[in-house]
Structure 1
Amino acid sequence: MTIATLRSAFLAAFLAFIALHGAGPTADKSRYTLFNPTPTSLLRDLSTDRPDQTESPYTVDAGHWQLEMDFINYTFDRNAGTRTAAFNIAPINLKLGLTDRADLQFIFDNYSRERVRTAGVTTTTRDWGDLTLRLKINFWGNDGGDTAFALMPFVKLPLRLGDAGNDLVEGGLIVPLAFNLPHGCGLGVMTELDWLADDTGRHRRANWLNSVTVSRDLTKKLGGYVELVASITNERGAPWICQIDLGLTYAVFENVQLDAGCNIGLTRAAPDLQPFLGLSVRY
């Protein structure tokens, strides 16, 4: 079965489900905008795109900012005699609520360093990352109902501040869907199609990523999740990547959340371990 067949089957089932499940009743906050912010008394519960890889369909309330970041994340991988160790310091996602149903996101990878050792030779690269712009548009479920759905187109803009990166514009579309389940549980599914440059930089390839995450409230402030993520490209001979992700979130205050977790590779092409520690703040 080809990637095109898999993608078509998944999207057909996904869209069929959407057609059968509408949103429940929602509060009308449509009059609030970037220049007429939503009153703090009407803010929806804090919802973040981190720490799991499955994005949230919920947007930041109009006229408010939300900062999501890793304090640090680390990647370790050992494969076919090559050992890779990398860390990224304080990558951020800064969100701005434009309307009640849309927010604009500025993602900056910040400083990273990667060290690769193979055949006794070590190579180190340093980079300040690129800028990614994302626009999240919620179609239903922002303020009520058992499901929520959004579309999130994005574009990566090269900043050329370091050794890594391909210095090319890339983009794609993210499609997240969330379900509120009984007993403090939640289910999130996401499909993402990326249009990326190949290793030569002269051609483009499609990368298709799918994920499913299950979360549960463990206490009033503490939550946990388990997630499965898989991605594949249409490039000939490219390996399949699959990870299982585990993590915890802790609500310090109504608008402040800490998180920690680890992404674990299940296939040879996936990184072996990716531990992280992060923070989300809304204001």
Structure 2
Amino acid sequence: MTRALEGDTGTDWVLCPGCRAVLYGKRLARGGGVCPECDHHHRLTAAERVDLLFDPGSAEVVDLPARSVDVLGFVDRKPYPERLAAARRATGLTEAVLVVTGRIGGEPVVAAVMDFRFLGGSLGAAVGELVTGAAEVALERRWPLLLVPASGGARMQEGAVSLMQMAKTSQALGRLDRAGVLTVSLVTDPTYGGVAASFATLCDVIVAEPGARLGFAGRRVIEQTIRQELPPAFQTAEFLLAHGLVDAIRPRGELRAALGALLAAARGGVERGGVEAPRRG
């Protein structure tokens, strides 16, 4: 079952974290969430991301059965069910992933798009089930799978159940790999923890937005652990590209065309060259 996708509206004024400029919200939205002063790529909601990437009118949300369960009866300042309810009210989503089918550059694709607003895009049982479900739809249709991660890590309120999703999603991508179905990861800022250690970095091609941060633990945690200062650009897309962990970086305004060319190349419809992936070695 599918339903039409609805976009979000922005605020009137936004403070850019990159250059501290005060930006008019509608101007920022017209530019795809990219700061006109410093080129900082602001975070997008899942709906905004789909509107940006998919051909107009082609995207349909796939309703997959998945729900988060309070297996631990977890309470910090609030019980876990209350946090879930608040996240659902604030985002209009049932979970931190939106599964969508449609076309990019005319090419069919299945996408699992994460929304950082929903409990920091944390990886819980429902998130793992939705990503796995998206992979199953891609396998059934033999359409490429596009993953758009945005996460702060595992959902601690679900304990070991959350950690198990790393294996579950990895197995789902493994099935696509064995079937010869293309998988693409579009890394957005931030992508950390269990998501970074599993499906975000297991795809055939890894594309990143400029400045997107990708890693398992955060910079401060690593520095405190190894008692060394890390390079200034550590964990950024540019640093990871230079070290062979990312295949390409594309500005937000070029993503639809680049992904469309990549999908077409995988289908054999055009010569390879939409996204030039460096050899890893």
Same fold per TM (> 0.5)?
A: no
- Higher RCO (C-alpha 8 Å, min separation 6): 1
TM-score normalised per structure 2? 0.29
Larger radius of gyration, structure 1 or 2? 1
TM-score normalised per structure 1? 0.29
